[in-house]
A and B are shown apart, each in its own frame.
Chain A
Amino acid sequence: MTTTEARPTDRKPPQLVDMSWDPITRIIGNLGIYTKIDFANREVVECHSTSSLFRGYSVFMKGKDPRDAGFITSRICGICGDNHTTCSDYAQQMAYGVKPPPLAEHIVNLGEAAEYMFDHTIFQDNLVFVDFCEAMVKATNPGVLARAERTEAPRGEIHGYRTIADIMKAFNPFEGEVYKEALKVSRVTREMFCLMEGRHVHPSTLYPGGVGTMPQPTVFTDYLSRLMRVIDFVKKAVAMNDDVFDFFYEALPGYEEVGRRRTLLGCWGAFQDPKVVDYRYETMNTWGKAMYVTPGIIVDGELVTNNLVDINLGLRIMLGSSYYEDWVNEDPFVTHDPLGNPVDMRHPWNQTTVPVPQKRDFDDKYSWVMSPRWLDQRTGDHLALDTGGGPLARLWSTALSGLVDTPYIKATGHSVRISLPKGESLPETTLEWRIPQWSNTIERDRARPYFVAYAAAMALQFLEEAMGMVRAGETKVFENYEVPDEAIGCGFHEAVRGVLSHHLVIKDKKIANYHPYPPTPWNASPRDMYGTPGPYEDAVQGQPIFEENGPDDFKGVDIMRTVRSFDPCLPCGVHMYVGKGKTLTTLHSPTYGANHG
């Protein structure tokens, strides 16, 4: 079953060329994309994604003190390590039966808000936007650049750039104004992060049971003053991104097909409400829905569920194209969840990782990434959910559920309204992100700056509530506990680029099983046992090519835009490993400014 719909048939005889990009730049980790491109019909006909890095966390975590899990799993990812620590602490808190004091939740939320602001900014402006910058567009679509020079930017009075080409120039790497400012902003937001969590990227002050951050008024003042310094940058970023993306639809009719797949989005929720959350599995649906980013699974525009218990029980880790021995005949670690529901053998709680290295064969086994899927009980389909790069699924799920209603954020059922206060140069502004028509490359990218605004707005609320507690003398930030002899736990959270879960089994006070499932295995997964391609493969496969270059000087910018729109971040592939591969005839390895460094 492929999730891409059939396209109209008005086809010339195919002119097929093998094209590969390995390693992919401007991402973290090792990712290779291997495609077959039909230049006669200007379309990608086949795509395989693979990674060449093995990590093995679920292997070497076994037998360790469970309290160490957050410190160790942070090191899974060099960009969103704190999301792992936080998710691990959530899972441990369930296992230990401990509820951190409310102020600790706010400090964690403030750290995470700063993380989203930092990571999305540096990724969008310093990594993604290089594919949309003047130098790149000149090299791939000179006609589009010429048009951009003639096109006035509709939101120029907000961001200050006259034409679309002026914005593109500002995104030129290391030299463009926005590129440089984004690097600076990414430092200010990281300082905000360090105020709450000590260090970036691997935080020092997060513990299961709470935080060690000293809840003095000063840390909140220092955070607030920095937040207000970047608030206008956030408003400008949204305006600039909207201008550029609207322009692309206009300048290249049909661009909505680039990176488009069925709407199959997953979001596991973020930002706990300290008044509701108690980390008990039995009440998980209640506190899950109280999160300030609502969890949810969206299929073809419909919200299938926003219950975390359903989400948990539907998880399936599949094999098919991965180099692993199946574990279905092992003894399960967990037969039933704490509510008495049966837990599948392919659920992360029951997974056993048995690697079987072998040759890379794109017709058979070609990846050490497993294939996480979600079982839709209604249809029996194992859905290859994607995360929309994170923000698309988060905003979509929050908008559809319509549960978030705070002074700065309102979910309407079809949109999310975000209010930001007055900044240095721009007035109080309300932004509205509306559910788009497509789940495609442009909409994944467009959602990102909106989510930066969302995080900034939530940070304001967390700050106000946290400072209220501190002024009232409510300064406890850590709650003690005992590690039980036997327990299970699960954590659901959003890493910057999407869904993150940690599943933990404790026996004899030691880790018996630990399986983190970050966004990248969901997005970068290979074809599963039913032949369903992973989201990168599915989004690239069948997409049209708009680049003006022919096969001899092809850069592949449309393909790279699609892959990067998912915010690929391979260190969290965790199980990834590639065996010695077969010879692939690569007729062309695309080049762009080879002396650029």
Chain B
Amino acid sequence: MTTHSSTAEVSKEPERSEDRQGIDEIHILWISEGMSCDGDTVSLTAADQPSIEDLVLGLIPGLPKVNLVNKVLSPSLGGEDFLAPYRAAVRGELGPFILVIEGSIPNQNIIEGDGYWTSFGNDPETGEPQTLNWWIDQLAPKAWAVVAAGTCATFGGIHAMSGNPTGCMGLADYLGWDYTSQAGLPVVNVPGCPIQPENFMETLIWVLYHAAGSAPPPPLDHMLRPQWLFGKTVHEGCDRGSYYEQANFAKDYNSPKCLVKTGCWGPVVNCNVPKRGWMAGIGGCPNVGGICIGCTMPGFPDAFMPFMDEPPGSTLSSLAVKPYGAVISRLRGMTNELVNHEPKWRHNKRKLTSGYDPRWRP
């Protein structure tokens, strides 16, 4: 008896058409002209699992061919040469494309007169600067998917803090939280100030698998963040969390203990960095001595300032954990004492005291 299994069979195209509606080639049009420090692009180049060159060189199986257009990495000299694919996309002559926006979106409507907050190239007709808002208005309706890279683009971030002169906001605030792209996706938000490199690459790759027709849309939460990355709190992945459980808090930054009393917001912040590390498992925030300042959150930064004081809500919860934590800590201390000693039968006296019994049966 034979079967049909063979390598040729396995690699065959799916027979049902609904299984194969994939896109073979896709452009990534990345605009970093939002109000930002471009730290998300820089962070992206730190990703190694996978790396940006792996993606661009087609080393990840099952993805469409990717043409990345990003100002920082572009081999072009700049100007119109660099802008050519963006202009083609505006004319509807380049597609499909994923629009990546980096930086927060200023409010142009608060400006009286001719000014603007940020621009991306000049209008070829008039020579006048072309605003970021103009580009988003042109490209978002045509985009196959829209991805917001970093907390500035997702929720407004630093530039949207109180006292700012630009009226900045996140991309979903600008486009509307009910916006959907050509692929029927909402804005895909990858917060982080900046993005954790691998969080971003993984999300982008999920979107690309979806484009290839081999994955469902990425699962997003109510703030449009990937659930598997932002579904848990910092605290739940922090290797100082057990100090909290034992009500053992650092009094200043010289300590390996829980940093809640010195300003850490980890218990209430959605972020996986202590668990995942910053890059290749190295670094992080509270796990390596940095207070969590909530940089992945919609309320960042104002809701978390002043950063170096104990978060207001945590006074009560850290107080409540005190009696329980103190008891647990004491009991653990006793147990620890016990397991930190060698058993009594390890000695060099003349008598064997290990309990050895050659005929022992259960």
Q: Which residues on A are within 8 Å of B, measured CB to CB? A: 20-30, 32, 52-56, 59-60, 62-65, 67-68, 71-72, 75-79, 81, 122, 126-127, 130-131, 135-136, 173-175, 180, 183, 186-187, 190-191, 194-195, 197-205, 207, 209-214, 222, 355, 357-360, 475-478, 480, 555-557, 560, 571, 577-586, 589-597
B288–A204 contact, CB under 8 A? yes
B127–A581 contact, CB under 8 A? yes
Closest chain B residue to A130, Cβ basis: B75
Known: A23-B71, A560-B77, A581-B127. 17 other contacts (CB 8 A): A29-B38, A52-B120, A53-B118, A53-B119, A72-B158, A180-B53, A183-B45, A195-B283, A201-B42, A201-B194, A202-B39, A211-B289, A571-B36, A580-B129, A585-B127, A590-B81, A597-B27
A581–B76 contact, CB under 8 A? no
B194–A67 contact, CB under 8 A? no
Taking the nearest CB of chain B, how far is it from the CB of A178, in angstroms? 13
Bound: A186/B307 CA distance, A: 30
Given contacts A60-B165, A187-B48, A200-B279, contact A23 B78 (CB under 8 A): yes
Taking the nearest CB of chain A, how far is it from the CB of B133, in angstroms? 13
B79–A65 contact, CB under 8 A? no
Cross-chain pairs A/B with CB under 8 angstroms, 30 sampled:
A21-B77, A22-B79, A23-B83, A26-B73, A27-B71, A52-B120, A54-B35, A68-B305, A77-B39, A79-B39, A126-B73, A174-B75, A187-B46, A190-B279, A191-B280, A191-B283, A198-B278, A198-B285, A199-B283, A199-B290, A201-B43, A202-B39, A204-B285, A578-B116, A580-B115, A584-B127, A591-B79, A593-B76, A594-B81, A596-B74
Bound: A430/B27 CA distance, A: 47
Bound: A282/B308 CA distance, A: 28
A78–B41 contact, CB under 8 A? yes
Bound: A477/B290 CA distance, A: 13
A583–B37 contact, CB under 8 A? no
Taking the nearest CB of chain B, how far is it from the CB of A484, in angstroms? 16
* Chain A residues, CB < 8 A from B69: 597
Closest chain B residue to A101, Cβ basis: B254
- Is B320's CB within 8 Å of the partner chain A? no
**B152-203 interface (Cβ within 8 A of A):** 157-159, 161-166, 193-194
**B297-344 interface (Cβ within 8 A of A):** 301, 305-308
CB-contact partner of B77 in A25, A71, A214, A357, under 8 A: A25
B46–A477 contact, CB under 8 A? no
B284–A67 contact, CB under 8 A? no
**B23-63 interface (Cβ within 8 A of A):** 27, 33, 35-43, 45-46, 48, 51-53, 56-57
CB-contact partner of A204 in B74, B114, B117, B290, under 8 A: B290
**B222-275 interface (Cβ within 8 A of A):** 252-254, 256, 259, 273
* Chain A residues, CB < 8 A from B116: 52, 578-580
Taking the nearest CB of chain B, how far is it from the CB of A195, in angstroms? 6
Q: Which residues on B are within 8 Å of A, measured CB to CB? A: 27, 33, 35-43, 45-46, 48, 51-53, 56-57, 67-69, 71-85, 106, 111, 113-122, 126-129, 157-159, 161-166, 193-194, 252-254, 256, 259, 273, 277-280, 282-285, 288-291, 293, 295, 301, 305-308
A556–B77 contact, CB under 8 A? yes
* Chain B residues, CB < 8 A from A186: 45-46
A28–B79 contact, CB under 8 A? no
A198–B76 contact, CB under 8 A? no
A60–B307 contact, CB under 8 A? no
CB-contact partner of B43 in A77, A200, A476, A597, under 8 A: A200
A580–B128 contact, CB under 8 A? yes
* Chain B residues, CB < 8 A from A197: 283
Taking the nearest CB of chain A, how far is it from the CB of B354, in angstroms? 36
B53–A357 contact, CB under 8 A? no
B45–A122 contact, CB under 8 A? yes
Closest chain B residue to A585, Cβ basis: B127
Bound: A581/B115 CA distance, A: 9
Interface core residue of B39, B52, B84, B291 (most chain A CB under 10 Å):
B39
CB-contact partner of B82 in A23, A77, A79, A214, under 8 A: A23
Taking the nearest CB of chain A, how far is it from the CB of B94, in angstroms? 11
* Chain A residues, CB < 8 A from B280: 187, 191
A25–B33 contact, CB under 8 A? no
Closest chain A residue to B301, Cβ basis: A72
Bound: A197/B27 CA distance, A: 35
B119–A55 contact, CB under 8 A? no
A127–B72 contact, CB under 8 A? yes
Given contacts A25-B77, A589-B81, contact A56 B165 (CB under 8 A): yes
* Chain B residues, CB < 8 A from A26: 71-75, 78
Bound: A569/B166 CA distance, A: 21
Closest chain B residue to A557, Cβ basis: B77
Taking the nearest CB of chain A, how far is it from the CB of B111, in angstroms? 7
* Chain A residues, CB < 8 A from B38: 28-29, 78-79, 571
Closest chain A residue to B125, Cβ basis: A583
* Chain A residues, CB < 8 A from B282: 191, 194-195, 222
Bound: A590/B84 CA distance, A: 12
* Chain B residues, CB < 8 A from A476: 254
B193–A202 contact, CB under 8 A? yes
* Chain A residues, CB < 8 A from B278: 194, 198-200
Taking the nearest CB of chain B, how far is it from the CB of A350, in angstroms? 20
Closest chain A residue to B67, Cβ basis: A597
A214–B307 contact, CB under 8 A? no
Bound: A204/B48 CA distance, A: 21
Given contacts A190-B46, A476-B254, A478-B254, contact A135 B306 (CB under 8 A): no
* Chain B residues, CB < 8 A from A210: 253-254
Bound: A75/B40 CA distance, A: 11
Taking the nearest CB of chain B, how far is it from the CB of A533, in angstroms? 21
Bound: A64/B304 CA distance, A: 12
A174–B56 contact, CB under 8 A? yes
Taking the nearest CB of chain A, how far is it from the CB of B79, in angstroms? 4
Taking the nearest CB of chain B, how far is it from the CB of A64, in angstroms? 7
Bound: A205/B254 CA distance, A: 11
* Chain A residues, CB < 8 A from B165: 54, 56, 59-60, 355
* Chain A residues, CB < 8 A from B256: 214
Bound: A29/B32 CA distance, A: 8
Bound: A75/B166 CA distance, A: 16
Taking the nearest CB of chain A, how far is it from the CB of B170, in angstroms? 15
B78–A22 contact, CB under 8 A? yes
Bound: A571/B290 CA distance, A: 25
Bound: A296/B75 CA distance, A: 36
CB-contact partner of A53 in B35, B46, B114, B163, under 8 A: B35
* Chain B residues, CB < 8 A from A596: 74-76
Bound: A593/B76 CA distance, A: 7
B306–A68 contact, CB under 8 A? yes
B285–A199 contact, CB under 8 A? yes
Bound: A581/B122 CA distance, A: 10
Taking the nearest CB of chain A, how far is it from the CB of B216, in angstroms? 28
Closest chain B residue to A28, Cβ basis: B38
B129–A578 contact, CB under 8 A? yes
Closest chain B residue to A61, Cβ basis: B163
* Chain A residues, CB < 8 A from B81: 589-594
B80–A581 contact, CB under 8 A? no
Q: What 7 A-B pairs come out closest when comparing CB atoms?
A: A204-B290, A78-B39, A194-B283, A212-B289, A580-B114, A78-B37, A589-B80
CB-contact partner of A200 in B41, B52, B164, B283, under 8 A: B283
A213–B79 contact, CB under 8 A? no
Taking the nearest CB of chain A, how far is it from the CB of B51, in angstroms? 7
Taking the nearest CB of chain A, how far is it from the CB of B234, in angstroms? 11
* Chain A residues, CB < 8 A from B67: 597
Interface core residue of A27, A357, A584, A585 (most chain B CB under 10 Å):
A357
Closest chain B residue to A67, Cβ basis: B308
A28–B42 contact, CB under 8 A? yes
* Chain B residues, CB < 8 A from A597: 27, 67-69, 74-75, 85
* Chain B residues, CB < 8 A from A23: 33, 71, 78-79, 82-83, 120-121
Taking the nearest CB of chain B, how far is it from the CB of A556, in angstroms? 6
B279–A194 contact, CB under 8 A? yes
CB-contact partner of A581 in B77, B129, B288, under 8 A: B129
